[in-house]
């Protein structure tokens, strides 16, 4: 219980918990690219696979990365064990985890 105001005759209380800040799910493109290890960045940069070229070009044009976007999730899954195998399950989870305040995209959506 959190006491908000207390006087001689009245006491106002709020019952419950105060929610923390909302998770950061929209991050800058640079932050997303830095989540890839150097080895995966090199594979992406040098890839001749059409889907990887498309992903790379899309990231170059994007203003931000939405970590909940179906195309983002599908792209990360495509790099995982059931796709190209460039990322393991932990690597996939790391790519899609909540962003930090430093990674947060603060521009217009």
pLDDT of residue 93: 97
Average pLDDT along the chain, 109 residues, taken 10 residues at a time: 72 74 96 96 96 94 97 96 97 98 94
pTM higher than 0.75, yes or no? yes
Q: How is the chain split into domains, by residue range?
A: 20-96
How far is residue 89's CA from residue 81's CA, in Å, rounded to a whole number? 7
DSSP states of 49-101 as a string?
-HHHHHHHHHHHH-S-EETT-HHHHHHHHHTSTTTTSSS-HHHHHHHHSPBPT
pLDDT of residue 70: 96
Cα pseudo-dihedral 105, 94, 68, 78, rounded to 10: 120
Q: Which residues pair with 65 in a beta bridge?
A: 27
How far is residue 11's CA from residue 18's CA, in Å, rounded to a whole number? 19
């Amino acid at each position: 219980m959190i006491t908000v105001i207390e006087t001689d005759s009245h006491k106002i209380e709020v019952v419950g918990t105060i929610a923390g800040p909302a998770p950061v799910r929209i991050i800058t493109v640079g932050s997303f690219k830095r989540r890839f290890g150097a080895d995966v960045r090199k594979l992406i940069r040098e890839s001749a696979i059409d889907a990887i070229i498309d992903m790379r070009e899309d990231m170059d044009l994007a203003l931000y990365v939405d970590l909940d976007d179906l195309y983002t999730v599908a792209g990360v899954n495509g790099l995982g064990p059931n796709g190209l195998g460039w990322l393991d399950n932990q690597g996939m989870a790391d790519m899609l985890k909540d962003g930090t305040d430093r990674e947060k995209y603060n521009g217009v959506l």
